[in-house]
Amino acid sequence: MSSFNGNMKDGSYYSKSKTMPFQVEEEDISVLIFNYLRALSRGKWVILITFVATVLISVIYSFRQKDIYEGITSVLVRDNTRQSSVIVNFSVTDRRNLANEIEILKSRTLAEQVAYKLLQIIYRDPIRKTDTLDIIKGAGSAKIARVDVIAARIMGAVSVEQVDKADLLLIKFRSHDPEEAAVVSKAIAESYEERSMKYTRNTARSVRQFLEDQLAQKRRLLYESEERLRRFMEDNRVISLDEEGRRMIQRYSLAMSSAEEAEVMVKMLQSSLKAYEQEIRAMTPKLSNSAVQATIDPYTKLFQEEIAKLEVERDKILTDPASRYNVNVQERLQEYNDKIESYKKRLQQSFERQVKQGLSNVNASEAYQELFKNKLNTELELIEQKSKFEAYKKLAEEYDKAFLKSPGVNVEFGRLERKTKSAQELYLLLEKKYQEALIAEEQVPKMVEVIDWAITPGAPIAPNRKANILVGVVIGLTFGVGIVMLIQFLDKTVYTPEQAERLGPLLATIPMMESFDDDVRDKSGASVKVIEGPDAEYKKIASHLVTHFDPKSSVSEAYRTLRTNILFSGVHDFNGSKKQGLIYIITSSSPKEGKSTTISNLAITIAQGGQKVLLIDTDLRRPIIHSIFGYNKEPGITNYLVGRAQIDDIVRNSPIQNLDIITSGTIPPNPSELIGTQRMKDMLQLFRERYDIVLLDSPPIIAVTDPQVLAKVADGMILVLLSGQTQIELAKRSIDAIRKVNAKIIGFVLNSFDFNNSYGSYYKYYRYYNYYYEPKGKNKNVKQGFLTKIIERLVDKV
């Protein structure tokens, strides 16, 4: 035994494990996991109640909600860029951005149009005309709501979605009534379709009206020219011109009509350019300034002007009938065509480069890019038409000068005839364009086409009761576990041996004792009956003297472990050089932590080991040892200290061999002063000589100073911690109080530890010990739940 004692002297047994960092780290991980698993196990009812309550609330909430139905109408927004035959690259309907269309569908303006339409429909079933739509019903006495109220309701329940990357929009309207959901969705689609058609027709109408005004003006000019020519012919009796005069008039009229046609085109292109600029401003207000101000650069403009001049020169040659058979003229025409093609290629490259530069610093949609490109292209066409107008006008002037060289009367006649001819050709051209515009206005393509009208939904889309309940299940579990984890985080109580070991050496872990026997007083075998009324808790404490009543139980073995660890704590000398007995104080941080049960069973266990033990009840404020063993309080230690009894009068022989007991005696008014007297010290010195071990049951150290007074004459103190009750901070304060008087703390005892709710090595130890030491007929196997088995395996793996 001496060699074993040498390795554990002065508590080195407990410090030895600290030299093994790997094991400590592994234990820390296990402890951490175990603490959380223990918290879940202990808080299973909190989790269950929280879970049931949350699921119940989600079920009630889900089934109290009204069903929501959704009517869906799908519409196709066409991406047509229809070129008008009137103006090159002028589109009646330009590319639209679907994001803009979605905003239009959700706008207040369209909602008000839908509200007016619903006020005409009125009924949920428009065919049978039954049941008024809820959306148009007024509040209070009003039968019908105002238009703005209906529009607000529509805006709050409508949603629009784009189908992937297609030009298909889904108009969705939600309502508690399935018929109303379908009716309102249809009304929104109809209003949107009507608005789109009105917009596209207005665009085509503006082209037609412009041509109509121009045609009226040219008709009047043609009539005036014809009338002047007729009067001149009547007054001067002129019938016709010669062949050369007619040829010169034909050239002049063609040149003049081309110039006037170019002038009309300039006006129309300017109108088109203005429309593009307005649409750019409406689409992207933040970018409108740069986009609107962007114009054709001089280099590109020069190419377009040269092309226009070359085309006019080419047309001038083509008007000469003799050019068809002249080889030299044909070669000149080919040169003109080659130059025109070359300039067109360079113009295209320059134009594309300018478009790319104009969009390089703009993060815009495809619709905006197309609109910007069309705007520049229109400006380029405008430059071409202006150049043609100037060139044809100049050419007409040249023909006019040549014609003026004709003799006398033919000059005036030719002038009137050429004006008439020019007006007639321009009128015929505008008449043709006007007819095309009329056809285009009537054949305007529909920008919006309804693909599928909404039908009455057969099932609600919300609430999704299954999903709500599932969310309630998840939230309930999460919330329940969160509450338990929060309680665990805030709980600073000692529960496990690992927590106790962080405070200092752990001498033993005493399992929880749940047995209670009403006849335990009779089983105690005490010969002395209690005179005063029994203490309220003595039966429970007396029933826990398992070391006497059930010495083969696992709890008794735990007390024997405590005895062994105390004897090998370094205070004892097994070589026999120490003659006097040792004094130990058993205390706790607060009342009812099991110190009296611990000291009673420890005394019995040491006595069963063959050593003489004296158990003294020094808790002079709330004594209980006398009730446990069935004695009267008097005479006791206080009677001796005040001189009213002798040593032999207060020492009582218990039925347990080698165990003597001294009760408290009369409760004094000044316990601390009484136990601090010299007489107390002399008495304890006397007991050192008579007994191997003297155990002092003292009051809680935080409550009173009695343990600190006794610590000066004791060899060591043992602090009892109650699992699940003793606060860590309170235990630390108890340690500080003991250290202040330079007393020695031998170690701690963790009392009432629930092995059934523990996992890993502690549970296995308890189970294995029951297997070997529990007598037959008792429940040797501690039942484990499914969750307990899983948690134990997880902890073992860690």
- Rounded Cα distance between 729 and 49, Å, is 31
**Would you state the structure tokens that stand for residue 651, as one six-digit string?**
């020492």
Among the ranges given (113-122, 374-383, 434-443, 472-481), the one the predictor scored with the smallest mean pLDDT: 434-443
What is the percent of the chain where pLDDT is above 90? 20
What CATH number has the domain spanning 494-753?
3.40.50.300
Most confident stretch, 14-23, 44-53, 212-221, 341-350:
44-53
Residue 26 has pLDDT above 70, yes or no: no
Q: What pLDDT is attached to residue 780?
A: 44
For 379-406, what is the HEC assignment? HHHHHHHHHHHHHHHHHHHHHHHHHHCC
SS3 of 5, please?
A: helix
pLDDT band at 535 (very low <50, low <70, confident <90, very high): very low
- Over range 154-164, report the average pLDDT: 92
By mean pLDDT, which of 312-321, 645-654, 733-742 is the weakest? Answer: 312-321
3-state secondary structure at position 306: helix
Written as six digits, the tokens of 58 are 């989600």
Distance CA 570, CA 6 (A): 8
Q: How many CB atoms lie within 10 A of CB 557?
A: 22
What is residue 573's three-state secondary structure? coil
Count helices and strands in the chain by DSSP H and E runs? 30, 14
Query: What would you report as the CA-atom Rg of the chain, rounded to the nearest whole angstrom?
Result: 55
Crossing angle between the packed helical segments 327-359 and 366-404, to the nearest 10 degrees: 150
Q: Which two tokens stand for residue 83?
A: 């070129």
From first CA to last CA, the distance across the chain in angstroms is: 35
The angle, 0 to 180 degrees and rounded to 10, between the axes of the packed helices 178-236 and 108-121 is 110
Q: How far apart are CA 581 and CA 599, in angstroms?
A: 17
pLDDT, mean of residues 233-243: 62
**Is pLDDT of 239 > 70?**
no
Q: What is the pLDDT of residue 56?
A: 94
> Which residue is associated with the tokens 């058993």?
586
In the chain, the amino acid numbered 427 is Y
Please count the other Cβ atoms lying within 10 Å of the Cβ belonging to residue 571: 18
pTM greater than 0.85: no
Instruction: Note the pLDDT of residue 213.
Output: 81
Sheet holding 716-722, edge to edge: 506-511, 745-753, 716-722, 582-588, 693-697, 613-617, 659-662, 652-653
Report the distance separating Cα 147 and Cα 168, nearest Å: 29
Q: Is the pLDDT of residue 270 over 90?
A: no
What is the pLDDT averaged over residues 407-430? 69
Q: How far is CA 320 from the centre of its chain?
A: 80
**Where is pLDDT greater, at 785 or 179?**
179
The residue ranking higher by pLDDT, 249 or 492, is 492
Average pLDDT over residues 407-423: 66
What is the predicted pLDDT for the residue at 243? 61
Residue 211 is predicted with a pLDDT of: 76
Read off the pLDDT of residues 475-485 as tens digits, 9 standing for 90 and up: 999 998 998 88
- DSSP result, 598-631: HHHHHHHHHHHTT--EEEEE---SS--HHHHHT-
User: Chain centroid to CA 152: how far?
Assistant: 30
- Closest residue by Cα to residue 481 from 133, 39, 13, 22: 39
pLDDT band at 628 (very low <50, low <70, confident <90, very high): confident
Q: Please give the pLDDT value at position 81.
A: 44
Mean pLDDT to the nearest integer, 224-245: 68
Lowest-pLDDT choice from 161-165, 286-290, 511-515, 592-596? 286-290
Residue 168 phi, psi (nearest 5): -110, 130
CA distance 90 to 269: 8
Token pair belonging to 34: 């175990």
E strands, 499-571, are 506-511
Lowest model confidence (mean pLDDT) among 151-165, 307-321, 537-551, 641-655: 537-551
Q: Tell me the pLDDT band of 325, cut-offs 50, 70 and 90.
A: low
Burial of 115 (0-12, 13-18, 19+ CB in 10 A): buried
Is residue 132 classed as helix, strand or coil in its secondary structure? strand
36: exposed, middle or buried (C-beta count within 10 Å: 0-12, 13-18, 19+)?
middle
Q: Give every CB contact of residue 240 below 8 A, 6+ residues apart in sequence.
A: 246
Q: Give percent of the chain with pLDDT exceeding 70.
A: 72
Based on the number of CB atoms within 10 Å of its own CB, is 369 exposed (0-12), middle (13-18) or buried (19 or more)? middle
Q: How far apart are CA 621 and CA 229, in angstroms?
A: 144
Q: Can you read off the two tokens belonging to residue 116?
A: 């007016």
Say what the pLDDT of residue 449 is: 87
The better pLDDT of the pair 714, 17 is held by 714
Q: Locate the domains of the chain by residue range.
A: 43-65+463-489, 203-450, 494-753
689 and 648 in contact (C-beta within 8 Å)? no
Instruction: Please tell me whether residue 566 adopts helix, strand or coil conformation.
Output: helix
- pLDDT higher than 70, residue 119: yes
Three-state DSSP at 572 gives coil
DSSP state of 785: -
Q: How far apart are CA 359 and CA 369, in angstroms?
A: 7
Spatial distance between the Cα atoms of 594 and 315, rounded to a whole number of angstroms: 121
Assess whether pLDDT exceeds 90 at residue 171: yes
Q: Name the phi and psi angles at 652, rounded to 5.
A: -120, 135
CA distance 51 to 479: 8
Can you give the pLDDT at residue 69?
Answer: 94
Hunting for tokens 């007619």 — which residue is that?
Answer: 246
Quick one: 457 exposed, middle or buried, by C-beta within 10 A (0-12, 13-18, 19+)?
Answer: buried
What pLDDT sits at residue 285?
A: 54
Collapsed DSSP state (helix, strand, coil) of residue 530: coil
Q: What average pLDDT does the chain have?
A: 76
Residue 591 carries which side chain, given as an amino acid letter?
A: P
Query: What is the residue type of 157?
Result: A
Residue with tokens 């060591």: 716
**In this structure, is the dihedral angle defined by the CA atoms of residues 738, 741, 745 and 751, taken in order, positive or negative?**
negative
pLDDT digits (tens, 9 = 90+) for 39-77: 787 788 889 999 999 999 999 988 898 999 999 999 998
Cβ-Cβ contacts under 8 Å for 298 (sequence gap 6 or more): none
How many residues are listed for the chain in this entry?
798
Residue 626: exposed, middle, or buried by beta-carbon count in 10 A (0-12, 13-18, 19+)? buried
- Please give the pLDDT value at position 676: 86
pLDDT in tens, 756-792: 666 545 555 555 555 555 544 444 444 555 555 555 5
User: Residue 283: how many CA atoms within 13 Å on its side-chain side?
Assistant: 24
